[in-house]
Amino acid sequence: MAHFAKVKDGIVTKVIVAEQEYIDNVVEEEAGIWVQTSYNTHGGVHSLGGTPLRKNYAGIGFTYDANKDAFIPPKPFDSWTLNETTCLWEAPVAYPTDGQRYTWNETNQTWDLVEE
């Protein structure tokens, strides 16, 4: 079994687990194509040491860029830019590495400490 994303107009509308034979023979009323995705791929790295597939595991609302052959998550904030290698969005300021939790403040362009 493998994971497949239904892509319509470049946007993922559905993700399923199926055999390749099912994908090859499925007839659906809605337009789009099925593109295989890997649950173990994130940022162009396969978590189990295998071959990464399409940069990131697809999710509903992700973009499929056929030129990059990559699934790209929705842009979280206007100030973030796409890392062309990982196809993940990056903040203009690096996330703090002090082990605490932060949330992005788009207005101030800073990472704000999450009070617990």
pLDDT digit string, tens, across residues 48-89: 999 999 999 999 999 999 999 999 999 999 999 999 999 999
C-alpha distances out from residue 51 to 37, 41, 82, 105, Å: 12, 8, 22, 35
**What does the DSSP 8-state code read for residue 18?**
E
What is the arithmetic mean of pLDDT over 36-50?
97
Inter-residue contact 63 to 7 (CB < 8 Å)? no
- The rounded mean pLDDT for the chain is 95
What pLDDT is stored for residue 25 in this prediction?
A: 86
